[in-house]
């Protein structure tokens, strides 16, 4: 089953909707219009977990070029499950993070990204990795996600044959089925695609999840 991540959540109400449909909920701690404070994040995490104590939904904190000390402090305070590194962090800079790591890959073929991708072959890896350790996103200079720009599906599909990846970058309720059919990712990640006028929209969150589940049914029949 394709894992669904809804990123850039800022309110309890939208998080509760997303938690009914998604597996991972993303909270942005990097400078962004979707950035949340630690207090906001604590409120969201507590509300979702109190609403359904049996829920298996996991919380992902998104960071860009933050120190390990500040990341770990936020992880512990907010009780996050995963850390998503969305900048140009090196393996050395990520050492000491206190929970499993997800690294955003923008298919640049630079040495840093190649070092991260090589971790999937390491036994044991030098860092604790999440079950699906890579998010494939679009490459846009000076931007670190949430741009609405499509990732390179062709190259993502090639990587998906070798590793568990989550596909991000410009996904919407309207195109996610085609993306899954072409790339066959382990998961999909959406932020701007479930927004209207820059705000998360309950109906688009539901529509995105339903589109994912519908294409899965088609793949099973095929």
Q: What positions carry a catalytic annotation? A: 7, 137
Q: Using the Cα atoms of residue 167, residue 170, residue 172 and residue 176 in order, give the sign of their dihedral.
A: negative
Q: For strand 24-28 and strand 195-196, is the pairing parallel, antiparallel, or unpaired?
A: unpaired
CA dist., res. 138 & res. 107, Å (int): 8
Tell me the β-bridge partners of 134.
103, 165
Both ends of the chain: CA-CA distance in Å? Answer: 15
3-state secondary structure of 55: coil
* Four-CA torsion 186, 79, 40, 197, nearest 10 degrees: 0
């Amino acid at each position: 089953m394709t894992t669904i991540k809804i990123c850039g959540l800022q309110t309890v109400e939208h998080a509760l909707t997303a938690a009914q449909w998604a597996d991972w909920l993303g909270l942005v701690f990097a400078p962004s219009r979707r950035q949340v404070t630690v207090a906001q994040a604590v409120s969201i995490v507590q509300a979702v977990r109190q609403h359904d104590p049996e829920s298996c939904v996991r919380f992902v904190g998104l960071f860009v070029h933050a120190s390990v000390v500040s990341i770990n402090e936020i992880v512990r305070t907010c009780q996050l499950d995963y850390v998503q590194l969305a900048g140009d962090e090196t393996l050395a800079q990520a050492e000491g993070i206190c929970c499993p790591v997800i690294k955003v890959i923008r298919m640049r073929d630079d040495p840093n990204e190649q070092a991260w991708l090589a971790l999937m072959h390491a036994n044991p890896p030098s860092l604790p990795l999440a079950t699906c350790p890579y998010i494939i996103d679009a490459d846009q200079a000076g931007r670190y996600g949430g741009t609405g720009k499509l990732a390179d599906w062709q190259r993502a599909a090639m990587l998906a044959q070798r590793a568990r990846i989550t596909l991000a970058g410009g996904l919407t309720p309207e195109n996610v089925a085609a993306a899954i059919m072409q790339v066959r990712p382990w998961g999909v990640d959406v932020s701007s695609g479930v927004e209207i006028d820059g705000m998360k929209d309950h109906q688009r969150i539901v529509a995105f999840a339903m589109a994912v589940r519908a294409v899965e049914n088609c793949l099973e029949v095929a």
